[in-house]
Chain A
Amino acid sequence: MLEISELYKSYEHQPLLKGISFSVGPGETVCLLGASGSGKSTLLRIVAGLETPEAGRLCWDGEDLAPVPAYRRGFGLVFQDYALFPHLNVFENVAFGLKMQNLPSGTIKLRVTNALEQVNLSGFEGRDVTDLSGGEQQRVALARALAPRPRLLMFDEPLGALDRNLRERLIDELRRILHTSRIPAIYVTHDQEEAFSLADRVLLLHEGQIVRDGTPAEVWREPGSAWAANFLETGNIFEGVLRPDGVVESPWGALRLPCRHPHKPGDRVSLLLRPAGARVLSAEKADGRKAEDEANSLVGRVADVVFRQDRFKVTLTNGLYFYLAEAPQPGAEIHLEIPPSAIQCLA
């Protein structure tokens, strides 16, 4: 299907995309996740044919896309600001792409009705797009992109302008539509929740390069780099020095690394310490343990406790945070036992 190799693009003499390569398989939803300004929208516009790359190749089923203008690519595009034609009503908006294909009016009517059904907007045909709510407008935009049966659908932060509840509902709808229609899709967002709930595959874009490529679970479990771990807010990230006995000495305590790692003793190591799974030890128990193994236990003073539905986010005065089942008193000193599974090496 879509294959992108070694794409380069600069913006105002600053390199924006530095050798992007990835592919989108049949029926696959790929989420490009990156901070704003990482070039993800530009990448999308290049795929759409609205901008040309400075170097690199775009292929569809082996055919080079470079000579194919945007209007012949058959790639649907959905924008954050919907980009509905204000001078056309809902029906005319959805029918736009079909009219460009010069389809007979009967077919157009049928396909518009179907597309509006898909997005739960049956009966909205005669409405003015300016009278619709944000969520409805985005549904019309989706129907407009779906109606011409594109080879590929592209989404540029489509839910960014909507409130949280609506966003969650639309993510569910979108996943259902993408899975039933089997249209491959590229979905650009800076919101990891959106990416993780929609994607078959997540690509992390950082400084013009794809730094991680995998299923949502893989990416979450193994973010790979310190930047990715930090961007995904996977936990506490800090550095320490590896001792010959396999324990990393850090300003916040000694942590034993899980079995396999590529580092030599004396190396500086980036560590990811997941906030979940830590256990609070009573004072006596902590004293007892200290004697046998000081590794994987931390002592800290509680700075802040925030209620988070099923747990408490506890921030210590040293900046580390953990999710605990019970809320300690702010100001209290607590001993934490860290399970080995909560510790990871980062590149």
Chain B
Amino acid sequence: MDYRLDCGGPALSLVSNTGRRAGWVRDSLPWLAPLFFLGLFFFYPLAHILWIGLAPAALKDLAPAAFSLVGRTLLFTFYQAALSTLLTLALGLPAAFLFARYDFHGKGWLRALTAIPFMLPTVVVAAGFSAFLGPRGWLNLGLMDLFRLQVPPIVFVGTFGAILLAHVFYNTTIVIRLVGNALAHLDPHLEQAARSLGADDRRVLDRVTLPLLRPSILAASLLVFIFDFTSFGVILLLGGPAFSTLEVEIYKQAVQFFNLPLAGLLSLIQLLCTLAFSVIYSRVVIGTTVTTLPRSADSNLHKVRRPGEKVFAGAMIVLLLVTFLLPLVSLPVRSLTHLEADRGQRGAVQYGLTTDYYAELFVNRNDSVFYVPPFRAVGNSLGYAAATVLLSLLLGFPAASALARPGRLDRLIDPVLMLPLGASAVTLGLGFIVSFNRPPLALVASPALVPLAHTLIALPFVIRSLQPALASIPDRLRQAAASLGASPRRVWQTVDWPIVARATLSAAVFAFTISLGEFGATSLVVRPEYPTLPIAIARFLSQPGGMNYGQAMAMATILMLVCGVGIAVIERLRLPGAGEF
């Protein structure tokens, strides 16, 4: 979440020698809308949670059992996050090495493959793993059919292993990107110098490469840890009822037990933790920017030649393919195949390809869990996403353009704008339902809360997409255009817009994709009669019956495809040199 601002303040100092106060007012104008929005929909709900969680009366009512639940949950949250982070590093570090040091066919493709999960909605990932290893997944059904088994031989969904594997699947790309980038941009002369000074391979790694990578490894670990710590959908959908992190427990307490004081207390703990991690992370990131020297990434690349290298590269490529390709491919394949070996289905058991699951989405059956055809969920999601794009661009544009020429005020506001990134989605959702349940803002009854929550989550990404583009236009460029006779309008048309247009589209797609896949906040604020795609998928996944499962597969496939297109567009539009994460 660190983007460096390389644009200094000279532009600002040119502006206001006359009328400092007028400058202040003008400078703070673009902030008004975004800050008002954050104040109302972020800080107010958070304050509300704080008040609920810390109210003496509420605390008194909480039984000792509740406190032991908090302790257990906190412990498990740390434990699973730490273990997931270690496993992610175990896969990510060698993968980072593979991508940064070796040149091989299909490398770009494989690297892109590892990056896809990070941006996929959790429900899609859960559905993917379920299609692959779940009780109705192709592997289990295939084995049952092959060996005439009565129960699925592989128990995956509902285990701790499923949580860990899904976390690795999600976050390995962070390690690959952060550590791989640092490795690729490491000055190759440093290792060569060490060799010429008498260091063998092991000592080069020990004394030079690893020390230089330490900040990036630390940054990647922390980021992975934060994501694992706040993970919600994966644990709810793949871990089952046995496992509860802070995030899941907040949801359970709020939605299932209506124990708002306890949910508030848990949210508070969650907030403090993420805040602490974010502070540590930004400290670490400052460390990373010092040591890595800008280098052409290609100078470190070479072909796989020695036998040892071939074994390493081959094993890594296979491992990455299995880990990343199988869950992703299983989902669409499963959505198009009948594999039902279980009894009690409508009609005869069929094997083979089918489009039934997709057709069924348009049908409104009486026994359906919805009163509307499931396909409506797609329409709802698109509507919410469109609203989110519009709202986040409207709020993000003024904020980003002000941030692009930072003054003193803006540097203070910047971290404030990024704060929603640190708050967990479920906490946001909880804040919404406790804050907007009575007039004048009785929004709980309206579907408006969903795009508002999505905007809150998307806004930091939108600002971070727009800001580098806006900052990348040096004032000299505008001055040059002006000195060549361009009017201010023409300057905007010919200089600013062509550069900003890409970033705007990228920001819009970002907001769109985030809104489409958002699960945590949505699961709390959604109206049952206007479900989004992820909510519908989660409900279908939890229902019995092959047809429900198939529909979940079909909808998850649709969601995956739409998000995949979005990711591809964003990657295309990424400004060269714009930061990652």
Q: Which A residues contact B (CB, under 8 angstroms)?
A: 45, 48-50, 69-77, 79, 81, 83, 85-87, 96-97, 100-101, 130, 141, 144-145, 148, 154
Contact = CB atoms under 8 A, between A and B. Distances in A.
Interface in B186-237: 187, 189-190, 192-200, 203, 207-208, 211-212
6 contacts: A49-B196, A72-B198, A85-B190, A85-B194, A100-B197, A145-B197
B278 interface: no
B488 to A, nearest CB: 41
Contacts of B194: 85, 96
Contacts of B212: 85-87
Q: Which 10 A-B pairs have the closest CB atoms?
A: A97-B197, A100-B198, A83-B189, A77-B196, A70-B195, A83-B193, A79-B189, A87-B211, A71-B198, A71-B195
Nearest to B187: A83
A130 B287 CA distance: 14
Contact of A86 (B192, B196, B207, B291): B291
Given A71-B198, A71-B199, A71-B200, A77 B290 contact: no
A97 B198 contact: yes
Interface in B52-82: none
Nearest to B195: A70
B214 to A, nearest CB: 8
Contacts of B192: 45, 48, 50, 70, 77, 79, 83
Nearest to A73: B196
B293 interface: yes
A75 B198 contact: no
Given A50-B192, A77-B192, A86 B293 contact: yes
B200 A75 contact: no
A81 B203 contact: no
In this complex, the member of A49, A74, A81, A83 whose beta carbon has the largest number of chain B beta carbons within 10 angstroms is A83
Nearest to B189: A83
A145 B190 CA distance: 13
A85 B196 contact: no
A96 B164 CA distance: 41
Given A87-B211, A96-B207, A79 B198 contact: no
A50 B198 CA distance: 12
A144 B194 CA distance: 10
Contact of B197 (A49, A50, A96, A154): A96
A76 B293 CA distance: 23
A252 B215 CA distance: 66
Contacts of B187: 81, 83
Contacts of B189: 79, 81, 83
A148 B198 contact: yes
A43 B396 CA distance: 54
Contact of A70 (B196, B208, B290, B291): B196
Given A76-B197, A83-B193, 8 more contacts: A45-B192, A71-B197, A77-B196, A83-B189, A85-B193, A96-B194, A145-B197, A148-B197
Interface string B403-416: 00000000000000
A148 B195 CA distance: 13
A169 B304 CA distance: 44
Which size class do B's interface residues fall under?
Answer: 20 to 34
A327 B12 CA distance: 52
B193 A100 contact: no
A162 B422 CA distance: 46
Contacts of A141: 193
B196 A76 contact: yes
Contacts of A145: 196-197
Nearest to B190: A83
Contacts of A154: 196
A45 to B, nearest CB: 7
A96 B192 CA distance: 13
Given A83-B190, A87-B211, A87-B212, A144 B291 contact: no
Nearest to B196: A77
A50 B191 CA distance: 10
Contacts, number: 71
A73 B196 CA distance: 7
Nearest to A70: B195
Interface centre among B197, B203, B290 (most CB of A within 10 A): B197
Contacts of B197: 71, 76, 96-97, 100, 144-145, 148
A79 B195 CA distance: 13
B196 A75 contact: yes
Nearest to A75: B196
A77 B211 CA distance: 21
A339 to B, nearest CB: 49
Nearest to A92: B207
B203 A100 contact: yes
A73 B195 CA distance: 9
Contacts of B208: 85
Contacts of B207: 96
A81 B187 CA distance: 9
B217 to A, nearest CB: 13
A335 to B, nearest CB: 50
A89 to B, nearest CB: 13
Nearest to A86: B291
Contacts of A144: 193, 197
A193 B207 CA distance: 38
A155 B199 CA distance: 19
A83 B186 CA distance: 10
Contact of B198 (A45, A74, A83): A74
A76 B189 CA distance: 13
Nearest to B204: A71
Contacts of A71: 195-200
B300 to A, nearest CB: 13
B295 to A, nearest CB: 9
Interface in B168-202: 187, 189-190, 192-200
A145 B192 CA distance: 12
Interface in B290-323: 290-291, 293
Contacts of A70: 192, 195-196
A277 B199 CA distance: 55
A70 B196 CA distance: 6
Contacts of A75: 196
Contact of A50 (B190, B195, B291): B195
B330 to A, nearest CB: 41
Most A CB within 10 A of own CB, among B194, B195, B207, B293 = B195
Nearest to A87: B211
Given A81-B187, A87-B291, A48 B196 contact: yes
Contacts of A81: 187, 189
B103 to A, nearest CB: 12
A72 B195 CA distance: 8
B352 to A, nearest CB: 50
B202 to A, nearest CB: 10
The winner among A79, A130, A154 for most chain B CB atoms within 10 A is: A79
A76 B192 CA distance: 10
Contact of B193 (A49, A73, A77, A87): A77
Contacts of A45: 192
A305 B290 CA distance: 50
Nearest to B212: A87
Indicate the member of A77, A87, A130 with the most B CB atoms within 10 Å. Answer: A87
A239 B197 CA distance: 50
A148 to B, nearest CB: 6
A152 to B, nearest CB: 10
Nearest to B210: A87
A97 B197 CA distance: 5
A55 to B, nearest CB: 17
Nearest to A78: B193
A77 B191 CA distance: 12
A100 B199 CA distance: 6
Contacts of A130: 290
Contacts of A50: 192, 195-196
A130 B291 CA distance: 9
Nearest to A96: B197
A79 to B, nearest CB: 5
A100 to B, nearest CB: 4
